[in-house]
Amino acid sequence: MDQPARLRRTDRSLPIALLRAREVVMAPIRVMLAESGISEQKWRVLRVLTESGPLEQTALAERACLLLPSLTRMLRAMEQEGLVGRAPDPGDGRKSIVTVTARGRRVLSDHAEASAAIFADLEARFGEERLEELLDLLEALTEGEDSKAQSRT
């Protein structure tokens, strides 16, 4: 079957290659998280909050790579599960500040060893230098998008 001249073959398609790479990285993480019933998205929220401290919901959505409406729904469930808490933003009562609870930190610490082992295995298979280079390249790819989004606001 003929392919339009401008389309790359799917085995050299960046979107498809990124999806394949994501699956290689995420498959063992999903197995790890299945033990605790925590979704990938909740894991990201807990990781971001633990790393950064309390955050306003919009900033949290951006850092955890989630759409704000999805995060808002997820936070309700996470509050009920005792993983996070929310309080009104003292500077703007329409916004809320999200914090990780002791239970949320415990979920992270319970998985810290397994998570470290997953990434140590990935680093051993791919190489520390290549992994750092890949992260640098992906960061450079997204930098342009970050500045575009900031200029739109």
> What's the one-letter identity of residue 139?
E
pLDDT value at residue 3: 56
pLDDT digits (tens, 9 = 90+) for 102-138: 999 999 999 999 999 999 999 999 999 999 999 999 9
Beta pairing partners, 56: 97
Q: Give the integer Cα–Cα distance in Å for 95 and 75.
A: 13
Share of the chain above pLDDT 70, in %: 91
In angstroms, rounded to a whole number, what is the distance separating the alpha carbons of residues 80 and 123? 36
Q: Examine the pLDDT at 146 and tell me if it is beyond 60.
A: no
Domains and CATH numbers, the chain: 15-126 (1.10.10.10)
Residue 93 banded pLDDT, cuts 50, 70, 90: confident
Sign of CA dihedral 120, 71, 146, 100: negative
Residue 152 confidence (pLDDT): 42
